[in-house]
Amino acid sequence: MAERRLRRALNLPQVIMLGTAGTIAAEVFVLTGHVAGMVGPASVLALLLVGLLSANFALNYAELATTYPVTGGALTYVQEAYGNGLRSFLVGSLDSLSSAFYAALSAVGFAYSLRIFLPFIPIVPTALVVVLAFTVLNLFGVGNVGRAQMLLGGVLLALLGAYIVGALVQPEGFHWERFIPEGRFFIHNGLVGNLSMLLATIALIFNAFVGFELIADDAEEVSNPSRNIPIALLISVLTITLIYVLVTLVTLGTIPWPDLAGSETALTDAASRFWPGWGPALIGVAGIIATLTSVNTAMLSATREALTLGRLGHWPRFMCRLGRMRTPYMAIFCIGIVVALMCVVGLVDILSYISSSGYLFVMFWSGLGMIKLRRDHPDMPRPFKVPLFPLSAYIQVATCVVVIGFTAPVALLFGAGLLGLLTVVYYLRRPLAEMAVRRAVIAEESRDRLLVAVANPDTAEGLARLAANLSEQRPGSPVEILAVAPLDHERLPKAMDRLTSRYARQQDALLRRVSRALQGRNVPYYTELRLARGVPQGIMDETERRGDVRLLLMGWPGHLSPEQRTEHPVTHLLEEARVDMAVFLNRGIVERPRRVLVPFGGGIHSRLALRLAVDLVEPQDGEVVALRCYCGPQGEAGEPTVLEDGGEVDVAFEETPDEEAGIHDEMLLAREAIETELGEVPENLRVKVVAEADIQAGTLREVAEQQYDLVVMGAALAHSLKSNMFGSLTDAVAEALPTSVLLVRRHEPGAVTWVRRQVKEIVERTAA
């Protein structure tokens, strides 16, 4: 079965801006003065050399990313070269965490930069707002990320361009004699002294060129990757180098380097010379925008690495889940939480060290991986081949070694510490995961009782048969048939003889009738008559008595008026019961359903419905159809597309019509959700996707055209139990169907339901 892929939604200008504006961060504003103090006018040479080395990195990445145009970047290349072991785990984990830490660093930097104009704002809350904004932006698709980067990056490049032009044309701006005072380009004595300081400067500023590799990390979302990735990588690096060189040139040509040495406000100081008044404000705004573009690209890179780590099984599998918009929503949520926690902790220096050392580690192994891939797979199709191979790869590896040699020891120490911690995690994760699985199995097995609450003779026997079918799939799972006789507690002390009242006798007779229906079935069962103040309270007491109820089954008479719905026991239990529930609408049911239909949206309730449906049919003779409805671009119905068992799905979405691509993606999404819930797709389960306006129309048409014994439906998000029980759409479908219906709701805390409802409303409003 093909794996769902991200949508190729980034065009060439967006990819270029992600690589360019995502790289230009606070370093250019902060480091210029430090670099000037180290090598003086030779700062320009240091930047040019780093630009050339980065261009070599970009060429290597262009070959790798076009050969493997999927998400993951260096992790993918190392995994292909060395296998899915410790090395790929370390590279991918460090790459993702480094990007996440850099996002936190940039978010905190944004808050400090904004304080220049708004000195009263708090640092941490401001940084958290930024993280939340870009997390939400990522959730709504990479196209929105690209558009935001185009806007922010365009403004940033315009401001820096204005700074460069202003310095060149204003009388108080750039002058050669200021750039090279006393005619000395190199400020140290001797070749060794100048060379060692130049290398130290290169090591210091190397991290300022980090960011363009995001293009390779996110190759799966780039349109026409064979063409656009090499172009975007090279244009990004050349643009970054040009901007850094020109900014440094005009800054040191406006204020001589001895006056700027060690300054962290070099650009602001220079702007105040040739544009007094509003020049410093221009640089301040540029610095603020630079931090935002860095947060945007760093979070994009971190989430895509997390997605790939989930696909490879290094990180939890839920990290690779894609939503309806084909965004890795679980990876985005998790990375957003990590970035937010780092902002709260506020260890800015540590984050900077780890981010810098992590980049070098990743680049080192991607270079070695490229050499091994060329050697092991010389005939593999490579849309772009780097010139001067293998020299280009060896230069990349050697560059990383040299820069590491001149990197601050504290940065290397933090990087080594993180690598050691990740190594421990790698070797402990499997035993811990196995332990967690064993505990989950034990917990699941301890909740094995099927509680069938009966009151209506019209539904009682059908409920008992359903429970027996479910119990047979888990041998030893007991079925309890419960009837509740309501009592008046105020009169109870005076009327103990009323315990055998007419109502209680009727319930007892009902229990005996249901028992006869279960006789002959290989199912352990027993009956219980509970006396309670009310029916809902009696059922609640029984579910909480031992805490081992796996599923509560009840009957539902069908359409109820608002007044009847409010007073119905099912309504109270849906609000209060802390167990999974199934409510049966009986329109005639066979002993063992042969064909069961499950309208499958993929949510937690429909997943429980699917699990119950699979348990209800005979594994050899029965069939479950998971029906998924796809609303096409214009919301028009179309011919159904069926995914047969073992069928492959074409996911070359770039060359597939929109509706067909959407239907294929819905199939993959359904299969992914089924495998998550059941572990695998059973042989008697078939996935069917139809192009329909909504789930109601699709379900009614399917039942009208095909013969089904039972429809099992998961609950929708009900806004109020006073208006509907399982959601207005679910209730409407159940009432309109001619077959028996089992409505299912998986228990979750009320706060979680509220959050899911809010998220769904936001998504629907955004989509509209």
Average pLDDT for the chain: 79
- Better-scored residue on pLDDT, 388 or 499: 388
Identify the pLDDT of residue 395. Answer: 92
Q: Are residues 260 and 364 in the same domain?
A: yes
In a domain, 369, yes or no: yes
The tens digit of pLDDT for each residue in 321-336 reads 777 677 888 889 899 9
* Percent above pLDDT 90 for the chain: 10
Identify the pLDDT of residue 49. Answer: 92
Q: Are residues 219 and 263 in the same domain?
A: yes
Identify the pLDDT of residue 751. Answer: 63
Identify the pLDDT of residue 557. Answer: 66
The tens digit of pLDDT for each residue in 122-146 reads 888 998 999 999 998 888 887 888 8
Contact 103, 295 (CB under 8 A): yes
In a domain, 436, yes or no: no
Say which CATH number the domain at 383 has: 1.20.1740.10
Q: Are residues 541 and 615 in the same domain?
A: no
Judged against a pLDDT cut of 80, whether residue 21 lies above it is answered with yes
Question: What strands lie across the sheet with 479-486, from one edge to the other?
Answer: 525-532, 479-486, 449-453, 549-555, 581-585, 740-745, 710-714, 595-599, 623-630, 685-691, 641-643
Q: Are residues 525 and 595 in the same domain?
A: no
Identify the pLDDT of residue 648. Answer: 41
**Secondary structure letter of residue 85 according to DSSP:** S
Identify the pLDDT of residue 634. Answer: 41
CA nearest neighbour of 620 among 525, 684, 664, 694: 684
- Better-scored residue on pLDDT, 646 or 178: 178
Q: b vs e for 605-634, b when ≥16 Cβ sit within 10 Å of the residue's Cβ? A: bbbbbbbbbbbbbeeeebbbbbbbbbbbee
Judged against a pLDDT cut of 60, whether residue 261 lies above it is answered with yes
Q: What is the 3-state secondary structure (H, E, C) of 395-461?
A: HHHHHHHHHHHCCCHHHHHHHHHHHHHHHHHHHHHHHHHHHHHHHHHHHHHHCCEEEEECCCHHHHH
Q: Are residues 308 and 189 in the same domain?
A: yes
The tens digit of pLDDT for each residue in 103-119 reads 888 888 888 888 878 88
Q: Are residues 270 and 353 in the same domain?
A: yes
Specify the number of domains making up the chain: 3
Take residue 755 and report the two structure tokens written for it.
Answer: 């959050």
Give ∠ CA 742-743-744 in degrees, rounded to 5.
115
| 507 beta partners | none
Amino acid (one-letter) located at 453 = A
Say which CATH number the domain at 464 has: 3.40.50.620
Q: Are residues 424 and 482 in the same domain?
A: no
Q: Are residues 685 and 748 in the same domain?
A: yes
Average pLDDT over residues 503-526: 70
In a domain, 55, yes or no: yes
Q: Are residues 552 and 600 in the same domain?
A: no
| 623 beta partners | 595
CA nearest neighbour of 642 among 628, 631, 656, 653: 628
In a domain, 2, yes or no: no
Position 558 confidence tier, pLDDT thresholds 50, 70, 90: low
The tens digit of pLDDT for each residue in 717-765 reads 544 445 456 666 677 787 788 888 888 888 877 666 666 565 555 555 5
In a domain, 82, yes or no: yes
Domain boundary among 541, 559, 577: 559
Judged against a pLDDT cut of 90, whether residue 642 lies above it is answered with no
Region of residue 405 (left: phi > 0; alpha: psi -120 to 50; beta: else):
alpha
- Better-scored residue on pLDDT, 624 or 577: 624
Take residue 280 and report the two structure tokens written for it.
Answer: 């410093």
Is residue 711 exposed (0-12), middle (13-18) or buried (19+ Cβ within 10 Å)?
A: buried
Instruction: Show the domain range for 227.
Output: 12-430
Q: Are residues 35 and 105 in the same domain?
A: yes
Q: Are residues 394 and 490 in the same domain?
A: no
Domain boundary among 540, 559, 578: 559
Kindly report the pTM of this predicted structure: 0.76
Average pLDDT over residues 703-712: 87
Q: Are residues 72 and 153 in the same domain?
A: yes
Judged against a pLDDT cut of 50, whether residue 424 lies above it is answered with yes
Average pLDDT over residues 66-93: 89
Position 437 confidence tier, pLDDT thresholds 50, 70, 90: low
In a domain, 754, yes or no: yes
Domain boundary among 378, 399, 430: 430
The tens digit of pLDDT for each residue in 356-401 reads 677 788 889 999 999 999 999 988 888 999 888 889 999 999 988 8
In a domain, 537, yes or no: yes
The tens digit of pLDDT for each residue in 441-452 reads 555 555 678 888
In a domain, 565, yes or no: no
Measured between alpha carbons, how far is 668 from 615 in angstroms, rounded to an integer?
23
Average pLDDT over residues 5-24: 84
